[in-house]
Structure formats: C-alpha cells, structure tokens
Amino acid sequence: MKALIELSGLAVRTHERVLIQDVSMVVYPGRVTALVGPSGAGKSLTARVSMGVVDAGLTVVRGELRYPAIDPNIDWLSGRQGDAGRRALLEQTRHLRGSYFSYSPQAASSALNPGRTIGRQIEIAMGRRKTVPDDMGLAIGQVLADVGLEMDVARSLPSALSGGMAQRAALAIAVAPRPELVVADEPETGLDPVLRRTVIELLVEVVRGHGAGLLLISHHEDTVARIADDVVRLGGPA
C-alpha cells in the first residue's frame, strides 16, 4: 500500500519564532490518521503544508514532503525557501487540491459558499473528478444520500440549513470529487457532544466508503481514541 502523504522532519518558522519543529507523519489510504495537540501546536499548519500550502510570512526551514501514490521520488519541499519558492509550491500543487486531497475547514460556514445552492457547490466539486458523471443530478443525489441528506437539500442555500445539516453538506462537498484523502480540520467545532459523535462517525463511514484516507485534526482525545488508526502528536508552540 503506497502512502498518500509522507512528511518528515518538517520545521516552519516566522521571522520571530519557530512554529513547528521536526514533525513527521505518514498517511495511508483507507486509514484514519489523527493529528492531535493543544491549541497553537501547529496542527492546521502541518496539514496545510502537507497539501502544498505555505502561507505568506512563513518559512519552511527544513523537511521533506512526498506523495508516494503519485511519485515517491519527488520531494515537493525541495528548493522551496523564500517567497518565490513558496509561490512555486502553491502553484505546482494547485491541481492536487480538490482532486488528490480535499479540505474541510473547522466551521461548515467556511466550507459553504453562501451565494450558491448546495447542489451547485457539489456539482462544482464533482467537476474535479477524473471522470465527470453523465447524469449530474443522479450523482448529486447519491452524494447527498451518502451523508444522510434528502435531494431537496440540493436546492437550498446554506443559510437554510441547520448546523448539523450544514456539516453534512460540507462533508458531501469534500467527498464529491472522490479525492484520495480528506483533510478534516476539527469538524467537531461548535457541536454539542451528541452531534459531534454523529458527525465524526458519519465522516469516517463516508470517507472509508469512498476508499479514501482521512487526516483528522482534533484535540478531542475521546474522538481520537475511538476512531484513529494512527496518531501523530504535536507539542505546544516552540
């Protein structure tokens, strides 16, 4: 089984301080990898770098990033120092975001476009598949059914959905492109304990059902203990 992501020895800093130091992880298809640690430990930063995104003002001091399922010989972080290197990395990995891996942010409101119906947003996501469905309506209905939503949700704007429905819609959009990996950034944020458990279990079920891997960013130890196959722990800020 070829890994989806191999990250080794990653260190990232600003001009003032080190943000993450010597972080390594391997993410496999069909498995749940939990990236855990306290606030400020660099969980989201690590995940973003793993997807080829280094934000302005940050410097990758060292580290290697490979996508063995694509090509195990390419180190995507090699020669990426400075603003020019950062921009080059962002551009050269652009085609992978939304296809090889998809990202689900902390709040469903951040994942959903308030001006587009849920169906249109799923349709756009499906456009990133290797093979676009012939019957888009049928395909949209299937993705919604996978996350426990009725077809009429496709005609709704995000503002018409409850919190739980919005989380499910965000998950539908994340899996619609059929990515190899779904990166979920603290999907439990803002949810009560009962709904949190429901959303997480649905997330794992749907992602595994699509044959993809899941990189879950979380600080809920009970969630991690319950669903994670592999755990990567980050300490506090350096």
> Rounded distance, CA 1 to CA 3, Å?
6
Residue 238's pLDDT is 43
The reported pLDDT for the residue numbered 131 is: 81
Instruction: For residue 17, give the DSSP letter.
Output: -
Residue 236, pLDDT score: 56
Residues lower than pLDDT 50 in the chain? 237-238
Distance separating alpha carbons of residues 42 and 196, to the nearest angstrom: 22
- pLDDT at residue 228, as a whole number: 94
- C-alpha angle 16-21-25 in degrees, rounded to nearest 5: 145
